[in-house]
Structure 1
Amino acid sequence: MVGDEYYPDHLLPVIREQEVRYRRFAELREQVLLEYGYNTARAYWGDLEDVFRWAVERDKDVLALTEKDVKQYIALLRRRKYSHNTIRRHVTTLRKLYDELISRGHRNDNPAKRVIVTSVATKPNAV
């Protein structure tokens, strides 16, 4: 936890809001990961931590992303040169997170549901 003595008063509400967001996210993340084996849960955990950091950097609530946000996140994964399968796993992980939110009555939609990850066509080799 961040000590109050290190932050100006005008920034404290932002810090506290981020802490609350992270606690909500972490609780939900743990619920999503319960049904998976160790390796799958570890991969999904990393995916969820990554999208959480991405959202915080853009002052977005990871539990309230839009379809446009998900597409922007996928664009970042492509710029990082992640493989097609890794990007698909990230999207699958997001779908599971939002399905859990829907099942708890916190959302009515899943912004990752309609997002389709297409493979990027490669240029043919020169002869």
Structure 2
Amino acid sequence: DVVTTGTFGPMCSSGAYLNIGHSKPRIKLGGGRAYLNDVLAYTGLAAADIFIGANALPDDDPRNKVYPGEFNYGGGHVIEELVAGKDVRLEATAYGTDCYPRKRLETWINIKDLNEAYLYSSGISRGRCSLVQK
């Protein structure tokens, strides 16, 4: 725990909040599903907001079916790639409304293009760190 806190590495309660801005036409991510590099992100926030947990896994990850699991890629890796300035694939689906008619979005996002990005580490350190804010 000391090493994790000292290096600010992803812990079980770490994650990143991202405001991706609005697409044209608009999509309401809240209530839909979103994946970043095939890793499920939480969309129950607002129209253009998602949260990716460090422990999030792709749907096809075997987890611990063959013990011990390998856990080769997940939310912590996605966060690391975003912080490093790499492009990350966003795939999202939503139910569509009159104000947010788009039902599907497939695009690449980069931390430089996000409206807001915050790294949360609410475990031991009980703090947060701003990644980028425009």
Fold shared per TM-score above 0.5? no
Rg larger in structure:
1
Structure having greater relative contact order (Cα 8 Å, sep ≥ 6)? 2
Specify which structure has the higher proportion of strand.
2
Task: Indicate the structure with greater helix content.
Answer: 1
TM, length-normalised to structure 1: 0.29
